[in-house]
Amino acid sequence: MNQTILNRLRSIKISGRSKAFSSSSAAVPLGDVLIREGVLTEEKLQLVLKEQERLKEQGYSPRQLGELVVSMGLATEVEVLGAINRFYRISAHNLAGNFADLIQRKEQIRGRGTSVFHPPIKVKLAIAVFVIVGLTIASISSLILRRQQEQLYQQTVRMGKVSLSYFANNAKLHLIEDNVLQLNALIKEASSVSGLLYSVIVDGKGVIKAHSDTKLIGTPFKGFGNVQESAEKDSISYFRYKDEKGSLILNVSRRIEFRGKNLGEVHVGISIDFIQEQIRRERTFILIVGFIIVALGIIAAVLFGITFSRPIGKLVSATKEIARGNYDFKVEEKRRDELGTLGRAFNYMSDELKMKSLLQETFGRYVSPTILKMILADPEKSWLKGMRTEATILFTDIRGFTAFSEKTEPEKIVEDLNEYFAIATQCILDHGGYVDKFIGDAVLGVFGAPAPMKDHAHRSIQACISMQQQFLQAATNGNPLLSRIGIGVNAGIIVAGNLGSQVKMEYSVIGDPVNLASRLNSLAGGGEIIISKSVYDAVKDSVSVETLPLQRVKGKSEEIQVFRVILPQA
- Nearest alpha carbon to residue 559 among 540, 533, 528, 538: 533
Tell me: pLDDT of 101 over 70: no
Region 372-380: mean pLDDT is: 64
What is the pLDDT at residue 355? 74
Q: What is the pLDDT of residues 279-290, one digit of tens each?
A: 888 888 888 888
Q: What is the band of 361 on the pLDDT scale with cuts at 50, 70, 90?
A: low
Q: What is the pLDDT of residues 440-452, one digit of tens each?
A: 899 999 999 887 8
Enumerate the domain spans of the chain: 3-115, 131-278, 367-565
Q: What is the pLDDT of residues 378-396, one digit of tens each?
A: 665 655 677 889 999 999 9
Tell me: pLDDT of 104 over 90: no
Q: What is the pLDDT of residues 329-346, one digit of tens each?
A: 777 767 777 777 877 887
Region 211-234: mean pLDDT is: 82
Whether the CB-CB separation of 265 and 255 falls below 8 Å is answered with yes
For residue 202, give the 3-state DSSP assignment.
strand
Q: Which residues pair with 210 in a beta bridge?
A: 201
Tell me: pLDDT of 30 over 50: yes
What is the pLDDT at residue 358? 67
Task: Give the percent of the chain with pLDDT over 70.
Answer: 82
Tell me: pLDDT of 404 over 70: yes
What is the pLDDT at residue 188? 80
CA atoms within a 13 Å half-sphere pointing along the CA-CB vector of 225:
6
Tell me: pLDDT of 374 over 90: no
- Nearest alpha carbon to residue 69 among 89, 93, 50: 50
Q: What is the band of 518 on the pLDDT scale with cuts at 50, 70, 90?
A: very high
CA 105 – CA 116 distance, rounded (Å): 18
What is the pLDDT at residue 274? 76
Q: What is the pLDDT of residues 47-83, one digit of tens each?
A: 888 877 876 765 555 557 777 787 777 887 778 877 8
Whether the CB-CB separation of 495 and 484 falls below 8 Å is answered with no
Region 15-22: mean pLDDT is: 36
Kindly report the backbone phi and psi dihedral angles of residue 435, in degrees, each rounded to the nearest multiple of 5, phi listed first: -85, 115
Question: In terms of pLDDT, which residue wins out, 103 or 145?
Answer: 145
Q: What is the band of 113 on the pLDDT scale with cuts at 50, 70, 90?
A: very low
What is the pLDDT at residue 377? 66
CATH of 367-565, one of 3.30.70.1230, 3.20.20.10, 3.65.10.10, 3.40.1690.10: 3.30.70.1230
Q: What is the 3-state secondary structure (H, E, C) of 470-498?
A: HHHHHHCCCCHHHHCEEEEEEEEEEEEEE
CA atoms within a 13 Å half-sphere pointing along the CA-CB vector of 165:
7
Question: In terms of pLDDT, which residue wins out, 485 or 196?
Answer: 485
Question: In terms of pLDDT, which residue wins out, 172 or 418?
Answer: 418
Residue length, the chain? 570
Q: Is 472 left (phi over 0), alpha (psi -120 to 50) or beta?
A: alpha
CA-based R_g, the chain, Å: 51
Q: What is the band of 371 on the pLDDT scale with cuts at 50, 70, 90?
A: low
CA 454 – CA 390 distance, rounded (Å): 9
Q: What is the band of 114 on the pLDDT scale with cuts at 50, 70, 90?
A: very low
Question: In terms of pLDDT, which residue wins out, 274 or 560?
Answer: 560
- Nearest alpha carbon to residue 228 among 153, 165, 164: 153
Q: What is the pLDDT of residues 459-485, one digit of tens each?
A: 999 999 999 999 998 888 888 889 999
Question: In terms of pLDDT, which residue wins out, 8 or 55?
Answer: 55
What is the pLDDT at residue 3? 42
What torsion do the CA atoms of 451, 457, 462, 464 make, to the nearest 10 degrees? 100
Question: In terms of pLDDT, which residue wins out, 428 or 102?
Answer: 428
Q: Which residues of 291-311 are buried (b: 16+ CB within 10 A; e: fewer)?
A: eeebeebbeebbebbeeebeb
Third-level CATH fold of 131-278: Beta-Lactamase (3.30.450)
Q: What is the band of 328 on the pLDDT scale with cuts at 50, 70, 90?
A: confident
pLDDT, mean over the chain:
79
Tell me: pLDDT of 264 over 50: yes
Q: What is the band of 570 on the pLDDT scale with cuts at 50, 70, 90?
A: low
CA 235 – CA 280 distance, rounded (Å): 33
CA 79 – CA 379 distance, rounded (Å): 32
What is the pLDDT at residue 321? 78
Q: Is 412 exposed, middle or buried (0-12, 13-18, 19+ CB in 10 A)?
A: middle
CA 402 – CA 407 distance, rounded (Å): 9
CA 495 – CA 390 distance, rounded (Å): 9
Task: Give the percent of the chain with pLDDT over 90.
Answer: 20
What is the pLDDT at residue 562? 95
What is the pLDDT at residue 241? 84
Sign, CA dihedral 312-313-319-325, equals negative
